[in-house]
Structure 1
């Protein structure tokens, strides 16, 4: 079985113009971020890649925790590290800073939650797509 996701973009202008992006459940403006000397209107490819990696990871983890019957609240900040060397932009690393608040904090639940937190990164579809190009790390705190 295959799934097809469709995304339309429209861009009218040069480097510092503002474009439009529309998908079935997403509509926004797009431009180059101010960190890269752009107008910073709407979102940008760097945020979208980070968002794809973060949402894929957190949904994968939530499903794995549910299957393991571990109730938890998941709080996460994801940082995307982009290197600029000689004018070349390279997305180097994504760091998921994850806090799991376990409803029932037992040694067994903690060990399983920790195992699943790291396994979810390697099973997420977006992490698999990035493998070999962008390093994805998980920094875990369990409460």
Structure 2
């Protein structure tokens, strides 16, 4: 499994194929919308951070994005290797807390379930997905990402 060591490769895109656009109104106590209207959500501080929790929050949105993107990367590398990963799942936990620079940082824990594969093969596919996934590439070396096979 991936140990979190930074890789000295350039993971920047060579061609932009899609651009998502979203706008925040009111920060963590407001709402977010996408330019196409498909996303229109109330955001609120979670109770653990002093809010009322009456809405989603950026960490939940990041967890949803990372888990779905990583799962797609896993399916892609599985298909390329000739495996059907039907029944697999990826769950993400995104934690937030103070960092040493008087700001805040994130940590991610991904839990991958590949019930139809043996542990060694599953670990190889997870490592390959971690190299392909844009979220993995964007976060590598910036935040702690832990991946556990469950």
Q: Give the TM-score range, shorter chain.
A: 0.7 to 0.9
- Which residue number in structure 2 is paired with residue 127 of structure 1? 136
Structure with more relative contact order (C-alpha pairs < 8 Å, separation 6 or more)? 2
Uncovered stretches (5+) of structure 1, i.e. residues with no partner: none
Q: TM-score, normalised by structure 1?
A: 0.76
The answer to whether the Cα contact below 8 Å between 2:70 and 2:129 also exists between their aligned partners in 1 is yes
Structure with bigger strand share is: 1
Structure whose alpha-carbon radius of gyration is higher: 1
- Which residue number in structure 2 is paired with residue 83 of structure 1? 97
Uncovered stretches (5+) of structure 2, i.e. residues with no partner: 1-14
Figure out how many residues of one structure are paired with residues of the other and give that number: 131
The answer to whether the Cα contact below 8 Å between 1:118 and 1:138 also exists between their aligned partners in 2 is no
Q: TM-score, normalised by structure 2?
A: 0.73
Take 1:81 and 1:137, find their aligned partners in 2: how far apart are those partners? 12
Question: Cα RMSD (Å) of the superposition?
Answer: 2.4
Take 2:95 and 2:44, find their aligned partners in 1: how far apart are those partners? 19
Aligned pair partner of 1:7 in 2, 19, 22: 22
Moved >6 Å (runs of 4+) = none
Of stretches 31-40 and 74-83 in structure 1, the one that deviates more from structure 2 is 74-83
